[in-house]
């Protein structure tokens, strides 16, 4: 197990280096000058600005400096918010995205597992049909439509109640997170529901379930002790990619609900060509995803004894 984790960690480090390099190359291929502003600056000021951000050095030197700084966990100063380090920006905005993402993931995973299990239990009956209809809709309707409808829904709800049950936008309390997280998690929830359903059905027709029934185990006990755990396994494997989808897919929700998350910040940074923020954010997200996938693999190992006890195949 330790060797397995070490091996994965090493490849994770190389992966992060790859991401960083790809970002650096991509960023420097972007046409346009990040230091331009609505008010033209004299060549002197331009030069001063370039010196300030180290853009006057050759690209290779910049790359070395960038990697070196990255090793020390330092991404430089933002181009648009001239007084803030990228680290501070990430440290401040990422927890927001992460909180939202975790809540969305919890909703998605819990919902996906519950609904998936319910549909499998009620296979081809109306609860199955109803939930699967919702799933199909949730998978097919773009998230921005849901975000819009979600906000409209809060508004109508508050109007109906005559007081503000849920805030329409913003960030702070739990109420702020609820609908955005629901909207954000919806697609993943639908996906997980489908997965859980087919996984449940596969498990339901598995031989060991028949064995359990043949030995007189009650339906309830079969469901909890035999079906769920086995059916959840494939769901757990996709949690890594799901985390990726949720954390990086938060832009729209963050935009619509005015949530100060890193996703929204990234879009703004791209629009303003904020080099350091773009590079910092991308590398950070890349590293985050690598770590999450690794974490999911380890968690999977705990659930699936075949991996935990057995060989550490990769």
Partner 1 sequence: MMNAFRPTPQDFYPLIKQDEADVVVRPSLSYWQNAWRRLKRNRRALISLYIVVFLLLFSFAAPQVFEFDSQSQDLTQLSKTPGLERQSLVVDTAPWEGRFAAHPATDGPLQAVTDLQVIDVAHTEAVRLAWAPVAGASYYRVYRHILRPSGDKDLGLPLGETEYVDQVSFEDRLKLDTVKYYYSVQAVSKMGEVSPYTTVAVQPRHAISVRDAVARGLLEPEQLQQRIGTEVTLKRHLLGTDYLGRDMLARLVYGGQTSLLIGIVAPLLFVALGIVYGGLAGYLGGRIDELMMRFADFVIALPFLLFMILFRVAMGIGPGESGIVPMLLALVLLSWPAVARLVRGQMLQIREQPFVDAARLMGAGSGYLIFRHMLPNVMGVVLVSLTFSIPSAIFTEAFLSFIGMGVAPPTPSWGSMCNDGVKSFMSHPHELLFPAFMISITVLAFNLLGDGLRDALDARMKD
Partner 2 sequence: MYKKRSFRLCSMAQLGFLLIFSGLLLTASQVSAVALDREARRITYAMSSEPPDLNTTTSTDQVSHMVLDHVMEGLLTYDSENNLAPGVAERWKLREDGATFWLRKGLRWSDGRPLLAKDFVFAWRKVLEPATASEYAFILFPLVNAQAINEGKLPIEALGIKAVDDYTLEVRFAKPCPYFLGLTAFSTLFPINEAFYNSRNGRYAADAGDLLYNGPFKMTEWVHGASLKMEKNPHYWNREAIWLNEVDVPYITDDGNARLNLLRDNHIALANNLGEQVLGGALQQRMQIKSFLDGGMFYLEFNHRPDRVTRNRNLRKAIQAVFSAEDYVYKVLGTPGTYPAYTLFPRWIKGEKQMFKREHPPRKPEINLEKARAYLVAAKKELGLEKFPPLSLLADDGSGGNRTAEFMQTLLKQTLDLDVKVDVQIFKQRLAKMTTGDFDMVLSGWGPDYDDPLTYGDLFMSVNLNNRGRYSSDTYDHWVSVAQSTVDVKQRMQAFGKLQDILFEDVVIIPMYERGKVYVQHPKLKRVIRRAVGGDPNFNYAVIKE
Partner 3 sequence: MNQPLRKTDREKALEVSNLHVEFDTYGGVVQAVRGVSFDVCRGETLAIVGESGCGKSVTMMSVMGLIPMPPGRIVAGTAKLNGREMLGLSTAALNKIRGAEIGMIFQDPMSALNPTMKVGEQIAETLMIHRGLSHREGLRKAVELLDRTKMPEAQKRTRQYPFEFSGGMLQRAVIAMSLACNPSVLIADEPTTALDVTIQNQVLELMREIQREEEMAIVLITHDLGVVARMADKVAVMYAGQVVESGEVDDIFYRSAHPYTLGLRSAMPSPEMHTDQKLSAIAGSPPDLFAPPAGCGYCSRCPDARNICETQEAGLIQMGENHYSRCWLQHAEANVDIAELYQHIHQLHGGG
Site residues, partner 1 (CB under 8 A) = 11, 14-15, 18-19, 22-23, 26-27, 29-31, 136-137, 139-145, 148, 244, 248-249, 251-252, 255, 266-267, 270-271, 273, 278, 281-282, 285-286, 289-290, 293
* Per-residue x/- track, 143-182, partner 2 (CB under 8 A): --------x---x--x-----xxxxxxxxxxxxx-x----
- Identified binder of partner 3 from the candidate list 46, 87, 303, 312, rule CB under 8 A: 303
Binding at 171: pick from partner 2, partner 1, partner 3, none (beta carbon under 5-8 Å per type): partner 2
Query: Do 96 and 260 touch, CB atoms closer than 8 A?
Result: yes
Q: How far apart are CA 73 and CA 156, in angstroms?
A: 46
Q: How far apart are CA 221 and CA 229, in angstroms?
A: 12
For partner 3, the closer CB: 28 or 308: 308
Query: Do 58 and 65 touch, CB atoms closer than 8 A?
Result: no
Count residues near partner 3 (CB under 8 A): 26
What is the full DSSP assignment across 136-186? HHHHHS-HHHHHHHHHHHHHHHHHHHSS-SS-SS-SSSHHHHHHHHHHHHH
Distances, alpha carbon 134 to alpha carbons 23, 116, 187, 197, in Å: 38, 12, 11, 14
To partner 1, the closest distance from the beta carbon of 64 in angstroms equals 21
The candidate with the shortest Cα–Cα distance to 144, out of 105, 104, 187, is 187
To partner 3, the closest distance from the beta carbon of 123 in angstroms equals 9
* Per-residue x/- track, 273-302, partner 3 (CB under 8 A): ------------------------------
First to last CA, the chain: 11
199 binds partner 2 (CB under 8 A): no
Binding at 299: pick from partner 1, partner 2, partner 3, none (beta carbon under 5-8 Å per type): none
| H helices, E strands: number in the chain | 15, 0
To partner 3, the closest distance from the beta carbon of 218 in angstroms equals 5
Q: How far apart are CA 295 and CA 65, in angstroms?
A: 30
Q: Torsions phi, psi of 7, nearest 5?
A: -60, -45
- Identified binder of partner 3 from the candidate list 33, 37, 61, 218, rule CB under 8 A: 218
The candidate with the shortest Cα–Cα distance to 16, out of 213, 268, 293, 234, is 293
Cα 2 to its chain centre, rounded Å, is 27
Cα 173 to its chain centre, rounded Å, is 21
To partner 2, the closest distance from the beta carbon of 162 in angstroms equals 11
Binding at 36: pick from partner 3, partner 1, partner 2, none (beta carbon under 5-8 Å per type): partner 2
Site for partner 2, rule CB under 8 A: 31-34, 36-42, 44-45, 48-49, 52, 80-84, 88-89, 92-93, 96, 110-111, 114, 117-118, 121-122, 127, 151, 155, 158, 164-176, 178, 218-220, 223, 255-258, 260, 265, 268, 270-273
Site for partner 3, rule CB under 8 A: 205-208, 210-219, 221, 225-226, 229-230, 233, 303-306, 309-310
């Amino acid at each position: 197990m330790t060797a397995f984790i070490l091996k994965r960690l090493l490849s994770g480090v190389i992966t992060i280096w790859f991401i960083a390099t790809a970002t650096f190359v991509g960023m420097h291929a972007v046409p346009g000058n990040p230091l331009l502003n609505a008010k033209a600056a004299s060549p002197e000021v331009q030069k001063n600005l370039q010196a300030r951000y180290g853009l006057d050095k050759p690209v290779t030197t910049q790359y070395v400096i960038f990697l070196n700084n990255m090793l020390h966990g330092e991404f430089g100063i933002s181009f648009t918010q001239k007084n803030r380090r990228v680290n501070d920006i990430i440290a401040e905005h990422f927890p927001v995205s992460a909180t939202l993402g975790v809540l969305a993931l919890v909703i998605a995973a819990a919902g996906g597992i519950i609904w998936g299990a319910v549909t499998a239990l009620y296979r081809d009956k109306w609860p199955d049909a109803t939930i699967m209809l919702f799933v199909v809709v949730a998978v097919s309707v773009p998230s921005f439509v849901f975000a819009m409808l979600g906000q409209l829904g809060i508004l109508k709800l508050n109007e109906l109640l005559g007081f503000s049950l849920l805030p329409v936008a913003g960030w702070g309390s739990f109420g702020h997170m609820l609908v955005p997280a629901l909207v954000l998690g919806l697609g993943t929830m639908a996906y997980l529901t489908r997965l859980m359903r087919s996984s449940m059905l596969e498990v339901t027709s598995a031989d060991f379930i028949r064995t359990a029934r043949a030995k007189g185990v009650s339906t309830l006990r079969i469901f909890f002790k035999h079906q769920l755990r086995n059916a959840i396994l494939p769901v757990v494997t996709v949690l890594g990619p799901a985390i990726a989808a949720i954390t990086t897919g938060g832009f729209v929700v963050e935009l619509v609900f005015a949530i100060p998350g890193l996703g929204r910040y990234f879009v703004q940074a791209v629009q303003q060509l904020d080099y350091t923020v773009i590079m910092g954010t991308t590398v950070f997200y890349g590293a985050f995803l690598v770590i999450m996938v690794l974490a999911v693999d380890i968690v999977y190992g705990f659930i699936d004894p075949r991996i935990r006890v057995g060989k550490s195949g990769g």
